């Protein structure tokens, strides 16, 4: 692809970035492009779609985990326990995303602490509260 053709592709991609995705096909029909230019633009669209799908999947996973966490909190409360989540916000911290169980009445840690840190993950909390390993997906 020549430099002017690449410049044209970059301009079309810049235009598509400012256009809602639902209008991309309509926008592309108005622009004359060679097969090589269309291939580059389709490759860009596919990469963008994969990135968007991955981001949506991560968001969905976080929502599913929050639902699981809420269910476990309610089950623990019925047993007189309280689920405590680590306050660490740095994903590199050793106890980031970890949990422990405390007695709701006395606030004494019942399970989930190792070497002074919260150590249970959500699966461990479910296993402790429900008394059985979590179901396989």
Integer Cα distance of 108 and 114 in angstroms: 15
In terms of Cα–Cα distance, which of 57, 72, 77 is closest to 120? 72
In terms of Cα–Cα distance, which of 77, 13, 21 is closest to 49? 21
Q: Which residues lie below 8 Å from residue 12, measured CB to CB, with a gap of 6+?
A: 28, 31, 33, 37, 41
**pTM of the complete model:** 0.55
Integer Cα distance of 132 and 120 in angstroms: 15
Rounded to an integer, the average pLDDT of 72-96 is: 91
Integer Cα distance of 137 and 66 in angstroms: 17
In terms of Cα–Cα distance, which of 124, 128, 82, 78 is closest to 101? 82
Spell out the alpha helix ranges (H) of the chain. 3-17, 24-29, 35-78, 122-130
Give me the chain's average pLDDT, please: 83
pLDDT score for 62: 76
Integer Cα distance of 125 and 83 in angstroms: 8
Q: What is the pLDDT of residues 50-60, one digit of tens each?
A: 777 666 666 67
């Amino acid at each position: 692809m020549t430099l002017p053709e690449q410049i044209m592709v970059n301009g079309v991609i810049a235009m598509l970035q400012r256009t809602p995705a639902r209008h991309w096909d309509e926008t592309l029909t108005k622009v004359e492009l060679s097969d090589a230019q269309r291939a580059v633009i389709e490759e860009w669209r596919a990469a963008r779609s994969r990135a968007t799908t991955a981001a949506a999947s991560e968001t969905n996973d976080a929502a599913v985990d929050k639902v699981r966490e809420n269910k476990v909190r309610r089950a623990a409360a019925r047993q007189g326990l309280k689920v405590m989540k680590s306050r660490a916000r740095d994903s590199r911290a050793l106890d980031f995303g970890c949990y422990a169980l405390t007695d709701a009445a006395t606030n004494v840690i019942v399970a989930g602490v190792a070497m002074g840190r919260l150590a249970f993950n959500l699966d461990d909390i479910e296993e402790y509260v429900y008394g059985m390993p979590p179901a396989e997906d």
